[in-house]
């Protein structure tokens, strides 16, 4: 069957502003990945179409895009997940600078991720064996550790859109990942970083991030746990 992709294009070497271009592609059935259709355009019709991708099955986080108005991964969105009877609108992730076509500048996103000290801090002498952690405590981390840093959440967040200093849901999720790790000793330091107007308190529980997350992570719940921990600390 024939499917129309309506793709936002922008080449800073040539274009003064973004525009849309339509391509008609051939899909075997409704289980084709949007990523494969983008490849079809690139490999058959127009080699200049530019996007990032790598693993093609939702684990590397390279191909976060806005597809029919919703942030998702091109490789884990199938035709049947969208209305393909009409042109499928494909745009770069919103609210961050475009480098070219569907490729965006993620440097601010990564900077905010680094700001929460995204690594285990434990200065106690390490035992000879593993540090003991109950399976329940380990599982408290698993959902947050699923994050693939694709940026779908942060760029879907109205609080991020309106406040460029807001650290955003992805970075807060990473803060949770370490604050709630029973092996970590820097929870206070990290809570100081996120207990600011541009930190956890900028989250107004709009849940866009939860809807956008391709790994089904409940970001808002994790942020609420950080808020709770900060409140407990103050008591």
Q: What are the φ/ψ torsions at residue 171 (nearest 5 degrees)? A: -65, -35
Q: Which of residues 144-203 bind other proteins (CB under 8 A)?
A: 145-146, 148-149, 178, 181, 183-184
DSSP string across the chain: -EEEEEEEE--TTT-SS-EEEEEEEE-SSTT-BHHHHHHHIIIII-TT-----SSSSSSS---EEEETTEEEETTS-BGGGS--SSPEEEEPPTTS-EEETTEE--HHHHHHHHHT--S----SPPPSSPPP--HHHHHHHHHHHT-----TTGGG-HHHHH-TT--HHHHHHHHHHHHT-TT-S-HHHHHHHHSSTTTGGG-----HHHHH-TT---HHHHHHHHHHHHHHHH-
User: Which range, of 16-24, 35-43, 192-200, 222-230, touches other proteins by CB under 8 A?
Assistant: 35-43
50 binds other proteins (CB under 8 A): yes
- Of the pair 16, 135, the CB lying nearest other proteins is at 135
As measured in angstroms, the least distance from the Cβ of 41 to other proteins is 10
17 binds other proteins (CB under 8 A): no
Q: Kindly tell me which residue out of 17, 85, 134, 232 binds other proteins, with binding defined by CB under 8 A.
A: 134
* Whether the Cβ atoms of residue 73 and residue 65 lie closer than 8 Å to each other: yes
As measured in angstroms, the least distance from the Cβ of 158 to other proteins is 26
Where residue 6 falls (left for φ over 0; alpha for ψ -120 to 50; beta otherwise) is beta
CA distance 211 to 164: 21
Q: Kindly tell me which residue out of 86, 131, 204, 228 binds other proteins, with binding defined by CB under 8 A.
A: 131
User: Which range, of 72-80, 154-162, 163-171, 192-200, touches other proteins by CB under 8 A?
Assistant: 72-80
Q: Binding residues for other proteins, how many (CB under 8 A)?
A: 62
Q: Kindly tell me which residue out of 26, 46, 164, 188 binds other proteins, with binding defined by CB under 8 A.
A: 46
142 binds other proteins (CB under 8 A): yes
- Of the pair 149, 200, the CB lying nearest other proteins is at 149
Q: Kindly tell me which residue out of 27, 59, 191, 230 binds other proteins, with binding defined by CB under 8 A.
A: 59
- Of the pair 47, 69, the CB lying nearest other proteins is at 47
Q: Which of residues 91-110 bind other proteins (CB under 8 A)?
A: 99-100, 103, 106, 110
Pairing of strands 70-73, 88-91: unpaired
Residues that bind other proteins (CB under 8 A): 11-14, 28-29, 31, 33, 39, 42-44, 46-48, 50-62, 76, 78, 80, 99-100, 103, 106, 110, 114, 118-120, 122, 126, 128-135, 137-138, 141-142, 145-146, 148-149, 178, 181, 183-184
């Amino acid at each position: 069957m024939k499917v129309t992709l309506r793709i936002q294009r922008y080449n800073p070497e040539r274009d003064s502003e973004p525009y849309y271009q339509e391509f008609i592609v051939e899909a075997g059935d409704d289980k084709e990945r949007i990523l494969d259709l983008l490849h079809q355009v690139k490999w058959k019709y127009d080699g200049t179409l530019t996007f990032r991708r790598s693993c093609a099955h939702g684990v590397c986080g390279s191909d976060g895009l806005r597809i029919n108005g919703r942030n998702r991964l091109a490789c884990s969105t199938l035709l049947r997940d969208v209305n393909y009877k009409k042109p499928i609108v494909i745009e770069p992730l919103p609210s961050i600078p475009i480098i070219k076509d569907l490729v965006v500048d993620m440097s601010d996103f990564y900077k905010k991720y680094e700001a929460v000290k995204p690594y285990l801090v434990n200065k106690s002498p390490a035992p000879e064996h593993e540090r003991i952690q109950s399976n329940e405590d380990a599982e408290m981390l698993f959902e947050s550790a699923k994050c693939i840093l694709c940026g779908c959440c942060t760029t879907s967040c109205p609080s991020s859109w309106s406040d460029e200093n807001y650290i955003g849901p992805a970075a807060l999720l990473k803060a949770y990942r370490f604050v709630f790790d029973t092996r970590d000793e820097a929870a206070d330091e990290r809570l100081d970083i996120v207990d600011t107007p541009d930190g956890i308190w900028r989250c107004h529980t709009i849940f866009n991030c939860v809807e956008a997350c391709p790994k089904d992570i409940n970001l808002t719940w994790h942020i609420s746990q950080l808020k709770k921990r900060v409140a407990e600390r103050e008591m």
